[in-house]
Amino acid sequence: MKKIVLSIFGIFALAACSEDAYHDIDKQNNGLEAANTASDDGSGGYTTFSDDGDYRSFWNINTRGQHEMFYRFTNWTGDWGNPAILDFRITPYVGLAYFDGTHDGDYRDVTSGTVENFNTVPPGTYPNLYDPTGNEIGNFMPTLPFTLDGSGIPSFGGTVVLEMQSGDHCHVVNANANSLNPAGVFFDLSAPPPPFVPALPQEEELLKDYGKVFFYFWEAVDPVTTIVVASGYIMPHCDTNNAAYWTNSTVTANLPGGGIADLYYNIYSNDTGNASHEVVLERGTFPHEQTFFHTVGAQVYEYKVELETFLSGTSDPVSTLKLSIVY
């Protein structure tokens, strides 16, 4: 049996754009993962490069707009060629990234004082972000899926790489066209599946300034048969049980398929000494890595999908969503 890791990276990063650079990054990530095994161990942050489990994040209301956000998505299976290669289809779910501490229908920017009064706007003004249950956070919109199959997205020796960036906090309006995103792929909310409706301009504006991707639905597709051989939901790991960093917002999130989960928000960040107000799903809502097997003829291949998040910094990735072959 061959072990194959299908790696999709959703990275916010300033990084080199050569094939060698991507392989170097992957090797570095593997080494750092081995050195840092914090997962459900009571640490305060995401599974990160940190060696002490502390919490830092780009999604900090106090520094919003001071960092350009980079997302990178990578499908490494092409390195193995046929028949191991799989296409990687990704559907991000975006929502409002911050909580003001009071669930009253007023979405406040605690740094600027800007308020969006969800309760007082005409009904239907925010049909996706403010639902009939009155949740001012926790309503997640699926974007149009995009597929890493080498079509219209750069491929380096079989590895397909998409890097998404713009000057916005969350790329729901557009993304810069560049060598790693020639078509300008972004988190397109123009045609979500029912019961969602296309995002209205005011929803896009709020998400552009205050949104983030909370989780992804991924699908591994056989490029010959077009059959989905595996799929699942994946989100960053975060130990919301650590009360030094996280507190329950008392708001529940609406999940695909009708499920619900508690939402937590950050009350202390090591890099600023203040609350970041970042919102996350409670620990265990979705996994942060998944493996699956795919058989072609007499050969069985093992694949791995994983999502990691990293410390903030002007050149460090914030998160990586990775589909790759397990060596």
Q: For 98-110, give one letter per residue: b (16+ CB within 10 A) or e.
A: bbbeebeeebbbe
Give residue-wise pLDDT tens across range 125-138. 999 998 777 889 99
Structure-token pair, residue 81 = 């060629």
User: Which pLDDT score is estimated for 195?
Assistant: 86
Please say if the pLDDT value at position 242 is more than 70: yes
Q: Which residues contact 104 (CB under 8 A, 6 or more apart)?
A: 119, 136
Three-state DSSP class for residue 266? strand
Please report the DSSP string for 162-190 in residue order: EEEE-SSSS-SS----BTTBTT------S
User: Which pLDDT score is estimated for 319?
Assistant: 59
pLDDT higher for 160 or 44? 160
Give residue-wise pLDDT tens across range 92-113. 999 999 999 999 999 999 999 8
Cβ atoms of 291 and 3 closer than 8 Å: no
Please say if the pLDDT value at position 317 is more than 60: no
Cβ atoms of 72 and 13 closer than 8 Å: yes
Cα–Cα nearest to 230, from 188, 271, 170, 290: 290
Give residue-wise pLDDT tens across range 181-218. 899 999 999 999 888 999 999 999 999 999 999 999 99
Would you place residue 141 in the very low, low, confident or very high pLDDT band (cuts 50, 70, 90)?
A: very high
Give residue-wise pLDDT tens across range 263-307. 999 998 887 888 999 999 999 999 989 999 998 888 899 999 988
Cα–Cα nearest to 171, from 202, 201, 142, 213: 213
User: Which pLDDT score is estimated for 81?
Assistant: 77
Would you place residue 53 in the very low, low, confident or very high pLDDT band (cuts 50, 70, 90)?
A: low
pLDDT higher for 218 or 55? 218
Q: Which residues contact 298 (CB under 8 A, 6 or more apart)?
A: none
Q: Could you state, in order of their start, the residue ranges of all structural domains in the chain?
A: 2-325
Three-state DSSP class for residue 34? helix
Whole-number average pLDDT of the chain:
79
pLDDT higher for 312 or 158? 158
Would you place residue 72 in the very low, low, confident or very high pLDDT band (cuts 50, 70, 90)?
A: confident
Q: Which DSSP state fits 157? A: T
User: Which pLDDT score is estimated for 3?
Assistant: 52
Three-state DSSP class for residue 35? helix
Task: Kindly compute the dihedral angle of the four CA atoms of residues 196, 198, 201, 205, in this order, to the nearest 10 degrees.
Answer: 60
Please say if the pLDDT value at position 45 is more than 50: no
